[in-house]
A and B are shown apart, each in its own frame.
Chain A
């Protein structure tokens, strides 16, 4: 009895509340996105909205079980969970291909997607590995094993193949960054090949990860803008100047913010870092643009094709084009609930609109206001999870919290990004909104496991 009281007393109810709000909003959105006039009731269990109710019930039941279980089980059996997930990922490769991929393990008419659960399993395994007191995070071997835990399921997922989930697994890099896993040994290996550089003096550590991501974003943005022009105070400039201008504006803002918030003692160093970062970013943009200009037409074409710059609204771009039209047509307040004309089941212009493109229905029916509301709820959830992560004394809980934060963040960024033309179209669900049992169960358990671990933050030191 005492134990239960402890859980209820220490549980973070705001996290649970956010979960309920998102799930209920998600359900009502599916009710509109896959509405069938012949089954007007929300509780039509032959329809996706009826089925989603069942999945919500199952998920909450699982979440409730998680709250009741001893949390010791998690780290004691962490690698067993991981192993089961990996076995399911292997098993799924022996199933029949559906739509060009082997992603479904069928149990009768119901099926599960092991890749959804593999994220949870991997998160638990990584938490267990990093929280093991016997490892040294800066060592080459710990970096190797930590990466192996992530790379193994990624390889299996690539075999399905499931590009979306594969990309989501790269989110674990952020966890490694937060925990300080160093990539210097890889970087050193590469730098050794460059003459006149003393690779032993390069100590970037885990800063390598955000640098890599920022560089990646800059490279892709430069390429995307390479064929465009921008208007700047009446001047027509090549598109990449937009990035240079953004970087400059950003630098000035950052310097002002730093001056106001950072203590004098640390300010100088921060100024130095910001200026160096801005110069480095600008140089990268210039360099990429020059190299791209230098490329032969057929090489450019290949890159443009890869980035999806070639417009083909009724062919390759069909999905994205329809999705963006649906979002754009939502205007400020949207067309109203059940009133979508593109992302509507009757018109069927937006494909997979109850799963991968669920955000279209929301943005079309609720407009900018609805879209921003949901986006904000997600940001609040993510900030909440990171807040929870940072208040832990347990490394395990912190790593786990960071893992699910970045997983949800990646799902959010890619899923919404692809409906507004800012991310490539790779099918992954929007947590709590997309129709589907596996993803809902997996995300529910992530949050409830976190809630459970968090509720014990005062008596766990591990």
Chain B
């Protein structure tokens, strides 16, 4: 019997080793590894996020451009649903059974899948089934909803755009996607983010900061009170309100004038760079892209052949047409190749022109918009005779010209406070070398002298050019934000950008612009408005695909200008016919607060190029 006594050691050994393994395991689980602590938090704590109200956006006179409105989501917990009356439910929400099945399936799909391909959807958790009911719609179903166990409402706020205008400035919001979640850890699934416009550019100011409340949750998922950690709770910080530079009345009026036309109207206060109106036509009601409607409406807008979602002022590239003669003239004078009293004959063999008296000065050239005049100015800019080799000579000249043009904010994005402005295009030596295999001279590229050919600009750049004219030589980066509550706006909007052309050279050009509008023989007599001293320049952008685009840039009054404007109307022919009167009406509306030229206004409003493409 005693021979087996050693076996007590085997038994004791097994007990000891078990206790040892358990101790190591507990040490690992409780002290080293965080996995189970995190799991415990996940199980027992509920991190309730409190959402801040998003910043309100006002125009320059305090009109609300973007407000918040309360909406309701119908939430559902599948496990708690009982005696579900499908027919009644469908009636209540005015959908049919197939739609209900689809809505449900979409909701489940939206939760995604885990690594093993199993759905993350959990039957015991609440999910939004029907989203974005308005207060009115919800009040109709509120009492009935209580008869459906497992369903309840969740209040949230969505954006509202009370002016129904300025869609391209204000932008829209939608739910964050995977890329957003990766880029910015602030967001959680289901959050909304500004996608375009001000909503997008000032997202971080507008959104504020979410608050967190730590609560305890029991096994059924019910909240069972706050916990010790409430000292870590943070309150939600509301988003900052924005004041925009936009003038809501002018914006709405611009959209009215542009109805039935494709194009852009951009108006800027020259003394500050503040954008007063920013019309992209055709436009859409920003309220279409809110809440549950967004998916369907976005698709409709996206499929529209007129591209209402396209932000024309920032992203449409057109030739500047004759408006570019202003730049050519200014550069010519600054470079000293011409002076303001220089006369040039209207030699139609150089480049086509219309009938007009000979331009005896720069001012005349602008007034008559004489093509051969600026052809000859440009030829002197490009071929300065600094090299005997004509090709080398033209390179020297164009390179100089290029630097001057760039100083007008052309050929590069202006970086306004909306995402997506494009650079446009100003050809340089390198470009022509590539295209013409280095064998080019002024005679090859002359069309840029009158704003045709390769030169491409955007309406916002043209409006900025109008500002430069108004300011006689400098501009501020155009911008939409006037003030941010509790924060300064970016310094870069307060910085003067001078062109490389001296202020004095602007006088003859501006004089010409005044005469364009006010003197017989001027190209934009239709822009004349009693007492407002409008100065402008017409343009007609050649369009190989159809009628030319009608262009007009202007500012007023001549001295101490308050508004500068650029108008593009696509396929509307000569700039003086449509673009000029639109600009003048805008100027009158802004400077006088009301429009007295009723006949002019009526003609514009009634014109619909989509149904009547005639350009007269």
List A residues at the B interface (Cβ < 8 Å).
Answer: 174, 177-180, 210, 213, 313-314, 321-322, 324-332, 341-342, 346-349, 363, 367-368, 371-372, 375-376, 378-379, 382-383, 386, 389-390, 395, 402, 405-406, 409, 413, 416-417, 420-422
Please state if B218 and A346 are interface contacts (CB–CB under 8 Å). Answer: yes
Q: Roughly how many angstroms separate A389 CA and B12 CA in the complex, as a whole number?
A: 12
| Cβ-based interface call for B232 (8 A) | no
User: Can you name 19 extra interface pairs (CB under 8 A) apart from A178-B8, A329-B36, A329-B37?
Assistant: A177-B11, A213-B14, A313-B39, A324-B36, A325-B39, A325-B44, A341-B44, A341-B216, A346-B218, A347-B216, A347-B218, A348-B218, A349-B218, A367-B30, A375-B19, A375-B23, A378-B19, A420-B25, A421-B25
Q: How far is the CB of B45 from chain A (nearest CB, A)?
A: 8
| A210 nearest in chain B by CB position | B10
Whether A331 contacts B8 in the complex (CB less than 8 A), given A375-B23, A422-B21, comes out as: no
Within the assembled complex, what's the spacing in Å between the Cα atoms of A331 and B31? Answer: 5
Give chain B interface residues in 14-40, CB to chain A under 8 Å: 14-16, 18-19, 21-23, 25-27, 29-31, 33, 35-37, 39-40
How many B residues touch A, CB cutoff 8 Å?
Answer: 40
Question: With the chains together, A372 CA to B23 CA distance in Å?
Answer: 7
Interfacial chain A residues near B18, Cβ < 8 Å: 409, 413
From residue B258, how far is it (CB to closest CB) to chain A in Å?
Answer: 57
Pairwise interchain contact B30-A368, C-beta atoms closer than 8 A: yes
Judged by a CB distance under 8 angstroms, whether B7 is at the interface is yes
**B29 x A420 contact (CB < 8 A):** yes
Q: Do A328 and B30 touch (CB < 8 A)?
A: yes
B219 and A328 contacting across the interface, CB-CB below 8 Å:
no
Once A341-B44, A368-B31, A371-B30 are accepted as A-B contacts, the answer to whether A328 and B39 lie under 8 Å apart by CB is: yes
In the complex, residue of chain A having the shortest beta-carbon distance to the beta carbon of B124: A314
Among residues of B, the one whose C-beta sits closest to the C-beta of A369 is B30
Chain A residue nearest in CB terms to B219: A348
Closest residue on chain B to residue A312 by CB atoms: B118
Chain A residue nearest in CB terms to B9 = A386
- Known contacts A383-B15, A422-B21; A332 and B8 CB within 8 A of each other: no
Task: Collect the chain A residues with CB atoms within 8 Å of residue B543's CB.
Answer: none
Cα separation A422 to B10 with both chains bound (whole Å) = 21
Closest chain B CB from A38 CB (angstroms): 16
Is B25 a contact of A422 with CB atoms below 8 Å? yes
Dominant secondary structure of chain B at its interface with chain A: helix
* Cβ of B118 to closest chain A Cβ, rounded Å: 9
CB-CB < 8 A to A313: which residues of B? 39
Which residues of A lie under 8 Å from residue B37 when comparing CB positions?
328-329, 331
Query: Shortest CB–CB separation between residue B321 and chain A, in angstroms?
Result: 68
Given contacts A413-B18, A416-B22, contact A347 B30 (CB under 8 A): no
Residues of A within 8 A of B27 (CB): 368
Q: Are B30 and A346 in contact (CB under 8 A)?
A: no
Bound-state Cα–Cα, A180 to B1, Å:
9
Please encode chain B, from 94 to 111, with 1 for each CB lying within 8 Å of some chain A CB and 0 for all others. 000000000000000000
Question: Given the complex of chains A and B, what is the CA–CA distance between A36 and B386 in angstroms?
Answer: 100
Q: In the complex, which residues of chain B have a beta carbon less than 8 angstroms from the beta carbon of A342?
A: 40, 43-44
Complex alpha-carbon distance, A327 and B217, angstroms: 18
Q: Which residues on the A side are within 8 Å of B16 (C-beta)?
A: 379
B69 → chain A closest CB, angstroms: 37
Contact of B22 among A322, A325, A417 (CB under 8 A): A417
* Contact (Cβ within 8 A) B15 A331: no
B603 at the A interface (CB under 8 A): no
Q: How far is the CA of A213 from the CA of B17 in the complex (A)?
A: 13
Residue among A325, A367, A406, A420 with most chain B CB within 10 A: A325
Q: Which 5 A-B pairs have the closest CB atoms?
A: A328-B36, A329-B40, A325-B40, A348-B219, A325-B39
Is the Cβ of B33 less than 8 Å from the Cβ of A328? yes
Inter-subunit contact B26/A327 (CB<8 Å) = yes
Contact between B11 and A332, CB atoms less than 8 A apart: no
Known contacts A180-B4, A348-B219, A413-B18; decide if A328 and B35 are in contact (CB<8 Å). Answer: yes
Q: Which residues of A contact B36 (CB under 8 A)?
A: 324-325, 327-329
- Tell me if B307 counts as interface (CB < 8 A to partner A): no
Of all chain B residues, the one with the shortest Cβ separation from A330 is: B30
- State how many angstroms separate the Cβ of B146 from the closest Cβ of chain A: 27
B30 near A331: Cβ-Cβ < 8 Å: yes
Contact with A along B415-459 (1 / 0, CB 8 A): 000000000000000000000000000000000000000000000
Minimum CB–CB distance from A89 to chain B (whole Å) comes to 27
B193-228: which residues lie under 8 A (CB-CB) from chain A?
Answer: 216-220, 224, 227
Chain A residue, CB-CB nearest to B122: A314
Residues of chain B with a CB closer than 8 A to A213's CB? 14
Cβ-neighbour of B43 out of A180, A322, A378, A390 (below 8 A): A322
Q: Which of A328, A346, A421 contacts B224 (CB 8 A)?
A: A346
Q: How far is A321 from B36 in the complex, measured between Cα atoms in Å?
A: 9
A-B contact pairs, 11 of them (CB 8 A): A180-B4, A324-B36, A327-B29, A331-B37, A342-B43, A347-B217, A347-B218, A347-B224, A348-B220, A368-B27, A368-B31
| B40, A386: Cβ atoms closer than 8 Å | no
Complex contact B4–A178 (CB within 8 A): yes
Candidates A328, A375, A379, A383; contact of B40 at CB < 8 Å = A328
B85: interface (CB < 8 Å): no
Task: Give Cα A341–Cα B39 distance, bound, in whole angstroms.
Answer: 12
- Report A351 CB to chain B, min CB distance, Å: 8
Q: Are B30 and A327 within 8 A (Cβ)?
A: yes
A374 smallest CB distance to B (angstroms): 11
Residue B136 at the chain A interface, CB threshold 8 Å: no
Instruction: Decide if A178 touches B26 in the complex (CB within 8 Å).
Output: no
Q: Which of B5, B29, B30, B45 has the most CB of A within 10 A?
A: B30
For B35, give the chain A residue with the smallest CB separation.
A328
- A402 vs B4: C-alpha distance in the bound complex, in angstroms? 13
B30 & A422 in contact (Cβ 8 Å cutoff): no
A217 to B40, CA, bound (A): 30
Are A325 and B43 touching (Cβ within 8 A)?
A: yes
Which B residues lie within 8 Å of A178 (CB)? 4, 7-8, 11
Task: Contact check, A379 vs B31: say whether CB atoms are below 8 A apart.
Answer: no
Report chain B residues within 8 Å CB of A347.
44, 216-219, 224
Pair B30/A386 contact, Cβ less than 8 Å? no
Decide: B22 and A420 in contact? CB cutoff 8 A: yes
Chain B residues with CB under 8 Å of A329's CB are: 36-37, 40-41, 44
Q: Output the nearest chain B residue to A322 by Cβ-Cβ distance.
A: B43
Task: List B contacts of A372 (CB < 8 A).
Answer: 23, 26
Is there contact, CB below 8 Å, between A389 and B8?
A: yes
A177 proximity list for chain B (CB < 8 A): 7, 10-11
Restricting to B27-66, which residues have a CB under 8 Å from any CB of A?
27, 29-31, 33, 35-37, 39-41, 43-45
Assembly CA distance A372 to B19 (angstroms): 9
Residue of B whose beta carbon sits closest to that of A398? B1
Residues from chain A with Cβ under 8 Å of B122 in the complex: 314
Q: How far is the CA of A213 from the CA of B122 in the complex (A)?
A: 41
A332–B15 Cα gap in the complex (Å)? 24
Shortest Cβ distance from B124 into chain A, in angstroms?
8
Q: Tell me, in angstroms, the Cα distance from A409 to B219 when the chains sit together.
A: 32
Residue of B nearest to A310 (CB): B116
| Residue from B11, B26, B43, B44 in contact with A371 in the complex, judged by beta carbons closer than 8 Å | B26
- A406: chain B residues at CB < 8 Å are 11
Contact A386 B8 (CB under 8 A): yes
The contact string, 1 if C-beta is below 8 Å from chain A, for chain B 278-291, is: 00000000000000
CB distance from B191 to the nearest CB of A (A): 25
Contacts of B15 in A (CB 8 A): 379, 382-383, 409
- Chain A residues closer than 8 Å to B7, beta-carbon distance: 177-178
Complex CA–CA separation, A382 to B17 (angstroms): 13
Chain B residues with CB under 8 A of A367? 30
- Which of B4, B21, B36 counts the most A-chain CB atoms under 10 A from its CB? B36
- Closest-by-CB residue of B relative to A341 is B44
Inter-chain contacts of A348 with B (CB < 8 A): 218-220
- In the complex, residue of chain A having the shortest beta-carbon distance to the beta carbon of B220: A348
A175 (CB) vs chain B CBs: closest residue: B11
Whole-angstrom CA separation of A389 from B7 in the bound complex: 12
Residues of B within 8 A of A409 (CB): 14-15, 18
CB distance from B216 to the nearest CB of A (A): 6
